Structure 1
């Protein structure tokens, strides 16, 4: 009888357990499906800022929405396989996805670019800039993400406890990891799924890419863009053909006397060549419906009447200074690299021919000067690979003047003067300033002298006036250099320009209110608006005779070749090719081409493609390929290694200073 009662109790327990297992299974399924669905909706809402826009995207792009859900499910499943708790896994996955959406939202608002996989490598750079970004909308989003993460975590005490065997969890984790990998590198199977869903990658316009495909999918698809794919046209015969074209261009240039105008230099003297890339420098008087109490940039306006001037077509807006440096120094174009990539961070890991290595080969001292910390954008190591002998970052400035948040532009000018005055050899200096880096929300220069008048909100007026005060200081630092070298017996050439337009408020606030652009939606800009939002003033000055000429609007990647032409120097192979491309397409961005007649087009016409293909192939050869070009032309320049004494001058001086300071702290008897 006891045995029968025991069996009966066991059956009752099983009957009770069965519904519990069913409930736990349903909970697992609902959680693993429901949370990714809600996460995708939440991420898109955070980035788009409007639930109606989010739902419009979802209903119009259901297959893309499903792919985003699948990817977020894979992330959740991978975390669950490792952690083993539904609620904790959900909280972790939600925190990761929420952080992605927050970063993307803030990047788009600041500089018009979403969050990329390679941004993870920026570590200190992104944190440093993030510390300067504030705003009510951003804070609301951050608080919302924190609340949602805590709410998901609180489900630990609400939902039934679910356990699955460790082998099943491991299998789920491996499948999820492989799925993320497959979409990240776009395996053949993943490619079929992507094509079937109607995914259209727009790598040259990443903001549109994310808007069309959704944050999770666009971010994952960009993983493969961390490695630049070899062009289909790249091989040794293509490079040999490009080399032949370069050699022919060199012969034509040498015999075409009409192509070069007279430059008068003192006999036997090489000029100092000084590039000044002024942080976020632009001419605020170009704003359509705004007037200022007085001219904030008189030096620029005077030079625009007296010397060689034009506009630099920048590949960036509001940030990404290193990419403009990359184009000017190497002559390479960002338009051949994945949208949003940072070559300094991702690709420059070996010696790369540049203006620095070229001038070093002519007997110049090649020096970089930047009034910020050397680790930023990896300049410490990249400048070595570009052939600089010395890189003077803020760590090597002595008691510098600070204006606003950063070292002043006047202090940078004083350092340029000091370096050229104490150096016997002619100098090539590439200078990057920092004083007028954003944000401009607070009047950080005290009383702003230059008052803006126009139909602007109080916030926009304050932002513009703070920026304009900094632009005036940059203008005056250029005048300081002109005043010095006008009295110097060292022939010197100054090339001054801004790296990109400043970010004047979120959503292009000042530009929109001033009528400079018609909409804050960058994807809806006309070609002319796109050109305006990427064009910074470019002026040149020298204390020796140089022709006054209008440069028009030229891409940053073509500036170096143009300067070498003005100095009547024989250009190396890659800069010769730059000159040839610039004759057909003086302006070349991923989504904007300016032809030789000044006409604007969204992409280069077929007639220009052969030369642009050579340009792309040569760039790939120098950066990632087998360096075939060096077998045909300019072998020594193209294969030059970094300078073995890189920065030894400054590090030795710094070590000596530290030793002296240590000695000063010791008792007199021990010195």
Structure 2
């Protein structure tokens, strides 16, 4: 026995091979939260499992280059196990798995921890990390070194051969479709292809690879072709004319444009086997019959809201980026990108983003500046009184924010709205007093329960659509409202279960109040903006024009990749070598948060009066933020504080994780004329009068769209 132990356990090569297998199996247990599921994966996907074992083994090959072999072996083992454990914890609390990009967003990671775990659990995680670090340090100083010097002449070629062999193996596996370099649903990809491969992919495979034909001459020729194409004659029919300062402005009153991206929204009746006690989406169905509509091909399934969002706003195809990549977490943290916002701002539009979720999710509070938004109204600037059983804000509260954005400017507005009500994960046990519509047709009781929950959320979102159109119909301005689902829900739906046969398809409809011609067509998410603007006679912007002119040409996708690479990663030849887009000075919230009065009441409580307060408002006195009680949109209270006339006061809007999104203008007692100097009472009264008319409609019973 001693000889066996000495022969194998002290043999690093055997130890690495055995450990790679064990570590990969443990990672799969963590990812699937089940030993049985990990065994099933091993049995049914042995080739993929072996590939991941070889990937882990490749990282162990670093011991060929060092004398501290045990230290390197221990460190690499801990890194893989830590990644697997982290992924398991993350998947226990959200749909999308742990990716390498999150290592670059450590501050956001702490926000996520605070949302999903108690302070005690975070403390345990911290202790675990500390113990792992201590273990690595002890291994560094105490672990034995190899007595023999490293034979670099032999080991470096061996190490290089291992890397080359694995690269060739990977290429073969990709061609044989054993693994994939595109993740339509990153959660499914991790389950299909394993954590080691997928995580490594998100680490190494980012951005757009340089096209082989990318040169200045190629881009300039493409730009020349774009401007000289016969189809470019459409530009002559654009409703743009030169103003006195030679800027391009609308010749006639252009419509307001509202994009409404509905979380996980799709027509449940597309499920072939399901039966419903009543139509779950009657309003959306009638809208499809009367207005332009079709299927929308989106880049993800079950998750990936931000990626559908990115495609629609930018007009860029996500397939050209790395597998499972979120540009919001990578390139858009470094540079601006041409978008429909910048294109419409050139034409005098104001641009607004609205989302009934926290403003820091996907770091939108930073990314939206890079995409050209003037304002961003997140949940911290809304008064949400009702949530779903899962805790997501209901979409009906978006109506007020959309109307607020329309009323906030005298000119035309582009409003990009992201809903959240339909968000999963969906309960597998019945929710009491939730189901107005009953669903049948599946033998799997838990899955059927999830579908019934989801269907009833779709019904409420459909009612919200009707309410929103009622409110918009009362506004005396031309409006286009584009509604679509961002992706299918996380309900394990397969192509064969759908009447349309494609899990990457949702639907869109283009409502308007001025008689826009009905044009039904199926399109990609990255074509949607150009498609809508084309119907409106607007042909402005490089990618907008490109989609409008070349969508049906043979080289369409190849040239689109060239343009995207040049705009984001290349030399920007298309713009003459200079990025023309500056980050916007984005305002958080459309309505300014203001203080009008401060005083101590009879009970000694400090009262702050003002406007546009929410449950996320916090009183800041001088340089200190105080615990604040929300009373109503015009009143906040701070206990146990006595007014000092020398103090200055402000209101901070903060996330649930105490991230400060904005701070109001300062207020000081006795200087009312100087306080809130940007507040225009006349404008506010006019705005409120117009808004009140829309609100009155929302008090009426919801009616189906005629």
Per the normalisation by structure 2, the TM-score is 0.69
Matching residue of 1:516: 497
| 1:395 matched to 2:380 | yes
- 1:563 paired residue among 507, 516, 532: 532
Q: Which residue of 2 aligns with 1:262?
A: none
Query: Match of 1:623?
Result: 568
Which residue does 2:422 correspond to in 1? 436
RMSD between aligned residues: 4.6
Residue in structure 2 matching 1:95, options 75, 81, 95: 81
1: distance between equivalents of 2:485 and 2:65? 46
| Alignment correspondent of 2:586 | 646
Structure 2 counterparts to residues 443-458 of structure 1, below 5 A: 446-458=433-445
Matches for 1:308-327 after TM superposition, within 5 Å:
308-327=292-311
Matched, 1:118 2:118: no
- Contact kept? 1:271, 1:490, Cα under 8 Å: yes
Q: 1:353 aligns with which of 335, 338, 351?
A: 338
- Mean CA deviation greater in 414-423 or 69-78: 69-78
CA deviation after TM superposition for structure 1 residue 668, in Å: 5.7
Q: TM-score, normalised by structure 1?
A: 0.72
Equivalent residue runs for 1:200-279 within 5 Å: 200-201=173-174, 202-205=180-183, 215-217=195-197, 219-249=199-229, 251-254=231-234, 268-279=252-263
| In structure 1, C-alpha distance between the alignment counterparts of 2:539 and 2:207, rounded to whole Å | 34
Counterpart of 1:603 in structure 2 is none
More helix by share: 1
- Would you say 1:410 and 2:396 are equivalent positions? yes
- Partner in structure 2 of residue 304 of structure 1: 288
Partner of 1:381: 366
Shift in Å, 1:254: 1.9
Question: Match for residue 343 of structure 1?
Answer: 327
How far off its partner does 1:277 sit?
0.3
* 1:495-550 C-alpha deviation (Å, 9 max, x unpaired): 0011001112xxx1xx36x96169xxxxxxxxx73x3x111120111111110121
Query: How far off is 1:249 after superposition?
Result: 3.7
Q: Secondary structure at the match of 2:511?
A: strand
Question: Is 1:490 aligned with 2:450?
Answer: no
Aligned residues: 566
Per-residue CA deviations over 1:62-118 (Å, capped at 9, x if unaligned) read: 9846633423535899999599598x75873563253266379879x956xx65432
Within 1, Cα distance between the matches of 2:230 and 2:473?
34
Which of 381, 393, 409 aligns to 1:423? It is 409
Unaligned runs of 5+ in 1: 1-17, 135-148, 259-265, 519-527, 585-607
| Alpha-carbon separation, structure 2, partners of 1:80 and 1:395 | 55
Deviates more, 1:88-97 or 1:352-361: 88-97
Hey, what does 1:460 align to over in structure 2? Answer: 447
How many Å separate the matches in 1 of 2:523 and 2:17? Answer: 52
Matched, 1:548 2:518: yes
Inter-partner Cα distance in structure 2 for 1:567 and 1:455: 44
Post-superposition Cα deviations, 1:622-660, rounded to whole Å, max 9, x if no partner, equal 11111111139xx8xx613123x3217759636889896
Change (3 A) 1:250 1:381: farther
Where is the strand percentage greater, Structure 1 or Structure 2? 2
Cα distance between partner residues in 2 of 1:358 and 1:272: 14
CA change 1:307–1:253 in 2 (3 A) is farther
Question: CA 1:213/1:280 → structure 2, altered by over 3 Å: closer, same or farther?
Answer: closer
Inter-partner Cα distance in structure 1 for 2:5 and 2:487: 61
Contact map agreement 1:281 1:501 (CA 8 A) in 2: yes
Going from structure 1 to structure 2, the CA distance change for 1:360 and 1:453 (only over 3 Å counts) comes to same
Asked whether the 8 Å contact 1:47–1:104 carries over to 2, the reply is no
* Aligned residue in 1 for 2:42: 54
SS in 1 for 2:551: helix
Matched, 1:503 2:476: no
Q: CA deviation at 1:273?
A: 0.6
Instruction: Structure 2: give runs of 5+ residues left out of the alignment.
Output: 118-128, 175-179, 239-249, 598-607, 611-618, 622-636, 646-668, 670-706
2:377 and 2:588 in contact (8 A); partners too: no
CA distance in 1, matches of 2:393, 2:148: 58
| The 10-residue stretch of structure 1 (319-328 or 447-456) with the greater mean CA deviation from structure 2 | 447-456
* 1:16-51, Cα deviation, whole Å (9 max, x unpaired): xx9999689727665444322322344456668353
Q: Secondary structure at the match of 2:482?
A: strand
> For the structure 1 residues 121 and 467, does the alpha-carbon distance in structure 2 shift closer, same or farther, using more than 3 Å as the test?
farther
Q: Could you say what secondary structure the match of 1:583 adopts?
A: coil
Q: Flag the structure with more relative contact order, 1 or 2, with Cα contacts below 8 A and sequence separation at least 6.
A: 1
Written as runs of structure 1 = structure 2, the 5 A alignment for 1:133-144 is: none
State the secondary structure of the residue aligned to 1:417.
helix
- SS of equivalent to 1:431: strand
What CA distance in whole angstroms lies between the structure 2 residues aligned with 1:353 and 1:332?
9
Q: Deviations over 1:306-336 (max 9, x none)?
A: 1111121110111111101110011000011
Query: What secondary structure is seen at the aligned counterpart in 1 of 2:532?
Result: helix
Task: Judge which range, 67-76 or 310-319, deviates more.
Answer: 67-76
Do the aligned partners of residues 500 and 480 (structure 1) sit closer, same or farther apart at CA in structure 2, a change above 3 Å counting? same
1:669 deviates by 6.9
Partner residue in 1 for 2:680: none
Q: Deviations over 1:406-450 (max 9, x none)?
A: 221110112111221343222110000112211121556842101
* CA distance in structure 2 between the aligned counterparts of 1:440 and 1:215, rounded to whole angstroms: 24
Asked whether the equivalents of residues 445 and 466 of structure 1 are also in contact (C-alpha less than 8 Å), the reply is no
**C-alpha separation in 2, matches of 1:581 and 1:131:** 47
